Amino acid sequence: MKSKLFGAIVACAAVATIAASPAAAQDRILKIATFAPGSAQFIIHNAIANAVNNHVDGTSMEVSATGAATQHMVQVANGEIDFSLTSLISLRLMSGQRGPFQNLSNGAELAPKLLSIMAHPIGARHFVVYADSGINSFADIADKKVFLGPPAGTAVSQTSAIIMSQAGLEAGADFEQISLGWGPAVQAFQDRQLDVLAIPGNVPDPRILNMIQTNDLRLLSVEENDATAGILRNPINFLTTTSSADYGSGIKNDGDIVMFNAVVNVAVRADLDEETVYQVVKAFWENIDDAWALAPWMEGNVNLESALSVIPGGLHPGAERYYREIGLDIPNALPIGG
């Protein structure tokens, strides 16, 4: 079964692409780009591909786990691939040609070419440190080597804002920012080349479960204050509370652990035809039990209750058609320009 194969792939985190099922008809091949194996996005995007490959006649979907999310968005907008991760903040940065999109010459033209098919939480922002590191709070990050996210992504601005809100520390001035991709960053942390690893993931994150097999870790907890309230005014941001019990004895925290989370979206190129997108969305939601079986956190995070919680730019007509068909109210899209 494909779901069993995928489970093995996630467990070993050793591949970057998953080919379409040989049994799937090859009339049309769709492409979705995602994060590194082990990440929440890898699991969610592969669940979409599994649904297409198993339930949409005449169509298959290939998954690529290389490159940064911002690169994927540009590829979708240019019609080079069909689906990727996106978010309200990423689309606003693209439209304004800011941050990782500052070198674009046509960001305002590209951003509307990405439409949403669903929303879901990206996963809690885990700030991971070794239990014996002496880092017990965000203030202890000073003078340390810290991974905030890939240099070409939007995670850096978000994790930087969290550290600033908690300790008033700035990358480059108060601590050393290490620029790597997601997968290499996890490996560098395991090799003790990093002091702090900031990664998004739904609890329990499989990468952290793997690391605590050999090392005791600690997760830095957020304290609410005026600065965090400012971050939470953005409609995509919210707080998630967990505890060491969700990970086991390898996490050496006492009490609750509060972490930032954010709503992101699965984007599709706007010019992909309505019927194809309708069939993709329908196949995914009508077989959602298969997706939920892939990870213990899936059912609580990927569901119809949250699928339309934040819609930047707008829904693709094929996705809107499905949601209206099953009786969901379609919310107003959030603007991405300006």
CATH number of 203's domain: 3.40.190.10
pTM of the predicted structure, to 2 decimals: 0.81
Burial of 334 (0-12, 13-18, 19+ CB in 10 A): middle
The verdict on residue 81 lying in a domain is: yes
Domain end, chosen from 238, 262, 286, is at: 262
234 & 279 share domain: no
131 & 227 share domain: yes
Average pLDDT, the chain: 90
Alpha-carbon gap, residue 266 to 150, rounded angstroms: 19
> Residue 47 in contact with residue 284, Cβ under 8 Å?
yes
CA angle in degrees (0–180, nearest 5) for 188-189-192: 90
Looking at residue 19, its pLDDT comes to 39
The verdict on residue 138 lying in a domain is: yes
Looking at residue 26, its pLDDT comes to 53
59 & 97 share domain: yes
131 & 157 share domain: yes
Q: Where are the alpha helices (DSSP H) in 233-316?
A: 274-286, 288-292, 298-301
Q: How many CB atoms lie within 10 A of CB 281?
A: 26
248 & 278 share domain: no
Domain end, chosen from 262, 291, 312, is at: 262
Out of 58-62, 99-103, 104-108, 328-332, least confident range:
99-103
Alpha-carbon gap, residue 259 to 220, rounded angstroms: 8
Alpha-carbon gap, residue 97 to 90, rounded angstroms: 10
- Number of domains within the chain: 2
The verdict on residue 302 lying in a domain is: yes
Looking at residue 68, its pLDDT comes to 85
Find the domain containing 250 and state its range: 124-262
Model confidence at 21, pLDDT cuts 50, 70, 90, reads very low
Out of 19-28, 109-118, 155-164, least confident range:
19-28
